[in-house]
Amino acid sequence: MRALVIGASGQVGASLLAVLRARGHEGHGTHGTHPAPGLSPLDLTDHAAVVRLISQTRPEWIFCPAGLSHVDYCEDHADEAFAVNRDGVHAAARAAEAAGAGFVFYSSDYVFDGVGGPFAESDTARPLSVYGRSKREGEQAVMAACRRAIVIRTSVVYGPEGQEKNFVYQLIRACRAGQGFRPAVDQRASPSYNPDVAAASVELAERELLGLWHVAGSETLDRYAFALLVCREFASTAPGSRPSRRPSSSRRPPVRSTGGSTCARRKPPCAPRSAVPPRAWPPCIASWAAPERTLTVVNT
């Protein structure tokens, strides 16, 4: 497989390149605002540049984890969020269709309103936030533009990454700086290990399992509980030390998205060997935590 990863400097993108190459595929990657060795620069909102790159690299599959994912930033910059998460990926999906390539788009559990769950692929999307709406409209645009499309919804992606910006890194930095960390107790999710998300993505493409898939961790818990589990694995903490609870920001309704954690139940053929759904948190965190066990967690 010749593959193009748009957004290969991010956590899912970097894992995708690693998985593709480990499985014997040819992988080419791009970066946006975070350059990385061996990656080509690409602005997803420059539609002409996207078309040129696809024409030059002639991929058989395009994986697009690039996008704006900071929920509060998207809320304050709605035009930019839709320009990237909807319009940019739509242009890329159209170019993929013209080139005869398949297209994999990454969406989020934020397309749901968080009432009930865990959510299946058949559940109705009801996004509450700008970010969720931009991702939902991106899903629809991709499915309309490309016949060989795969849309993957995931939830609180974590794991090793060069930019060190995911939830676990934020927790580690805050605690090491003695600032404490206040994860929300009313936001539930299915934390998803980025190497597992990447492995599932590649397997879905290899097997041409098109359509909408939920690829998320097999356990559902709130962010506070997840933070406690992370601290337990990454640190030797003093008795009673732990992150502080807090409700979601009062700026907007809480998004208590749990995400879908049952991809394999959608239809019998959906079980790409061991990759879908990704593993529960314990083996993933444990396999990653060993070099980072000097973390000190403080009370706030």
Per the structure, the complete domain to which residue 37 belongs is given by 2-164+190-221+257-279
The predicted pLDDT at position 59 comes to 98
**Considering the domain boundaries, does residue 297 fall inside one?**
no
**Considering the domain boundaries, does residue 153 fall inside one?**
yes
* Side chain identity, residue 48: A
Please state, as a whole number, how many other Cβ atoms lie within 10 Å of the Cβ of residue 75: 15
The predicted pLDDT at position 292 comes to 42
CATH number at residue 134: 3.40.50.720
**Considering the domain boundaries, does residue 170 fall inside one?**
no
Q: How far is CA 216 from CA 7, 41, 168, in A?
A: 20, 29, 16
**Considering the domain boundaries, does residue 176 fall inside one?**
no
Nearest to 45 by CA among 91, 10, 11, 101: 91
Catalytic residues, which ones? 131
Give the chain's length: 300
**52 contact partners, CB below 8 Å, separation of at least 6:** none
Nearest to 141 by CA among 105, 168, 177, 114: 105
CA distance 154 to 48: 29
**Considering the domain boundaries, does residue 127 fall inside one?**
yes
CA distance 149 to 141: 10
Rg (CA), the chain: 19
CA distance 256 to 200: 25
* Structural domain count, the chain: 1
Q: How far is CA 139 from CA 111, 187, 249, 300, in A?
A: 10, 23, 27, 40
Nearest to 64 by CA among 97, 33, 22, 107: 107
Please give the average pLDDT of every successive group of 10 residues along the chain, which has 300 residues: 96 95 96 90 96 96 96 95 98 98 96 82 91 97 98 87 74 70 74 89 95 85 79 53 52 36 31 42 52 32
Residue 125: DSSP 8-state:
P
The predicted pLDDT at position 242 comes to 55
**Considering the domain boundaries, does residue 239 fall inside one?**
no
Instruction: Give this prediction's pTM.
Output: 0.82
Residue 273: DSSP 8-state:
T
**Considering the domain boundaries, does residue 120 fall inside one?**
yes
**Considering the domain boundaries, does residue 30 fall inside one?**
yes
Residue 194: DSSP 8-state:
H
CA distance 161 to 130: 26
